[in-house]
Amino acid sequence: MIRLEGLSKRFPQGGGVEGVDLEIPEGEVFVLMGVSGSGKSTLLNLVAGLLTPDRGRILLAGREVTHLPPERRELGYVFQDQGLWPHLSALEHLLLVMPRPDRREALALLERVGLLEHAHKRPHELSGGQRQRVALARALARRPRLILLDEPYSALDPVLREELRLEVRTLLKERGATALHVTHDPEEAMLLADRVGVMSGGRLIQVGSPKEVYQSPSSLESFLAFGRANVFHRDGEVLAFRQEWVARGGDLEAWILESRTLRGETLSRVRLPWGEAWVRLEGLPGERVLLRIHPLLRFPKANRPDASLTATPYLSPEG
């Protein structure tokens, strides 16, 4: 569906993307992750046509669109600020962008996103979540080859965010839409993505299924992109593991310092031989426990930009 070949864009003040190669097949939901400044939004804007690359090509369904304006790329957009027109109703938003305006089809799409009874309301009469649904329905109404989503849920409250993003994935799959979605939220990536790409320093450093990237990160940057991390710096290396990679029954001595419960899950702060960590473990403060950490990853300390591109399982605290 979409292919990026050696895509690069640099800004005078720094930042951008460098040499990105990526192919997203038809019908896939691809989620791009990375910290602020990693280049993910720049990459999305290049695909959208809002920026022109310094080098590289963008192909959509086999047709090069690198230098085409946004309106000629057959894309749908769902951005954080929604970009709704204040003078139009929800229904009018859809009719305006449809290749062949069809009131019945537009109403059916609004019903699918739970907005049929709000079809004649303008943006100021809708809640934040409802406005986001209008933006999604408008993007789908264009019947685009590709839908771009740029952190569309970040301004919503947590409950609404969780509800809406699952509905969006279902709707995208029902319509067979291809999507490129940008987020910094690891939970969102796990819920939505068929595949995940991690960006760091303007480069795409790992691509794989959410489970693969989560459990087998190729770099410290990929590991940190998913959060819930414990990281320890030692001479010449970095030790890292996730909270849920810890279990009782090993030979690693630890002491429980405190426990907290979050969403029915007990997390404990423990003292390990090389420092303190939060782990998924039940116990009492002051209790001595013997733990097993698997896997315990080892990364080289970064002395150059690409120094942490290889992760090695590290199974013994003694090295």
CATH architecture for residues 2-215 = 3-Layer(aba) Sandwich (3.40)
User: By CB neighbour count within 10 A (0-12 exposed, 13-18 middle, 19+ buried), where does 317 fall?
Assistant: middle
Q: How far apart are CA 224 and CA 240, in angstroms?
A: 9
Q: How far apart are CA 21 and CA 2, in angstroms?
A: 11
Q: pLDDT (tens digit, 0 to 9) for every residue of the chain, 319 residues total?
A: 899 999 999 999 888 999 999 999 999 999 999 888 899 999 999 999 999 999 999 999 899 999 999 888 888 888 777 789 999 999 999 999 998 999 999 999 898 888 999 999 999 999 888 888 898 889 888 888 899 998 877 767 777 777 778 888 888 888 888 999 999 888 889 889 999 999 999 999 999 999 999 989 999 989 988 877 899 998 889 999 999 999 999 999 999 999 998 777 899 999 999 899 999 999 999 999 999 999 999 998 764 344 333 444 333 333 3
Q: How far apart are CA 211 and CA 246, in angstroms?
A: 17
E strands within the chain? 2-10, 16-24, 29-33, 55-60, 63-64, 75-79, 146-150, 178-182, 195-200, 203-208, 229-234, 237-242, 246-262, 265-272, 275-280, 288-293, 297-300, 312-313
Nearest in space to 163 (alpha carbons), one of 153, 155, 178, 172 = 153
Q: How far apart are CA 284 and CA 280, in angstroms?
A: 13
Return the H-helix or E-strand segment holding 227.
none
Residue type, 95: L
At 86-111, the pLDDT tens digits run 999 999 999 999 989 999 999 998 98
Domain ranges of the chain: 2-215, 228-313
Token duo for residue 68: 């085409």
Q: How far apart are CA 319 and CA 274, in angstroms?
A: 12
Return the H-helix or E-strand segment holding 113.
none
